[in-house]
Amino acid sequence: MEATPKKLSHKSAVDKPAKKPAVRKPAAHKPAAAKKPAHVESTPPVEPEEAVAEKPARVPHGKTFYAVGRRKTSVAQVLTQSGNGTITINQLPFEKYFQSAELQYIAKQALVSLGLEKTLNVKAKLQGGGIHSQAESFRHAVARSLISMNPESRRTLKKLGFLTRDPRVKERKKPGLKRARRAPQFSKR
């Protein structure tokens, strides 16, 4: 028995055009970093904290400006006036109160951003909280006093985030829990 050839219908595979092979898109990859010649030096990018205003703000002579800054549970009360750049905190020199370079950097950020660290004397009373939150509350208070001294510096200080009172504080302990949200360990029996 020989198989008879089947009649090809109009929908047979022969009549259909051949399917194009699927085109794969090349995988997205990061281009290799272009190497710079050794003799060309690049300038380091300027961070916003180090950005200094074009013109240092004018400092009124003889006037004293008062401001309060807060962070967590610490409060900083600051008196700012024109002078030679002396900073006194709780009747101690600045470097003796904030001994680490990081805390000194945080505390001076508002003054440095406006280029006033050598032209203002600052007296401060800090209380409550830890040393780190005191440095941040000091920065907040100094930024507020700089605005009362020169309202034009508001834009720079606001952009750097020194005027925002950080609202994050420790959450209170709840009854039946070990801490604010930590539940006691579950025991099946």
CA nearest 80: which of 158, 127, 142?
142
41 CB neighbour count, 10 Å cutoff: 8
- Top pLDDT among 2 and 128 is at 128
Q: Please report which residue ranges of 115-178 form alpha helices under DSSP H.
A: 131-149, 154-160
Mean pLDDT of 114-128: 95
Position 140 scores a pLDDT of 97
* 99 pLDDT more than 90: yes
Q: Which of 7-16, 59-68, 105-114, 172-181 has the lowest mean pLDDT?
A: 7-16
More confident residue, 43 or 114: 114
Cβ atoms 83, 122 nearer than 8 A: no
CA distances to 16, 104, 140, 152 from 132, rounded to whole Å, are 76, 10, 13, 29
Higher pLDDT: 31 or 88? It is: 88
Report the percentage of the chain scoring pLDDT > 90.
66
DSSP string, 36-104: PPTTPPPPPPPPGGG---SSPPP--TT-EEEEEEEETTEEEEEEEEESSS-EEETTEEHHHHS-SHHHH
Whole-angstrom Cα distance, residue 157 to residue 55?
14
- Is the pLDDT at 25 greater than 70, yes or no? no
Write down the pLDDT at residue 59: 72
pLDDT at 40 over 60: no
The secondary structure of residue 127, as a DSSP letter, is E
Nearest to 109 by CA among 136, 75, 72: 136
What is the residue-averaged pLDDT of the chain?
83
1 pLDDT above the threshold of 80? no
Report pLDDT digits (tens) over 75-93.
Answer: 999 999 999 999 999 999 9
pLDDT tens digits, one per residue of 46-74: 454 444 445 556 677 889 999 999 999 99
Of 124, 135, 106, 110, the C-alpha closest to 57 is 110
Distances (CA, A) of 56 to 20, 118, 154: 68, 11, 13
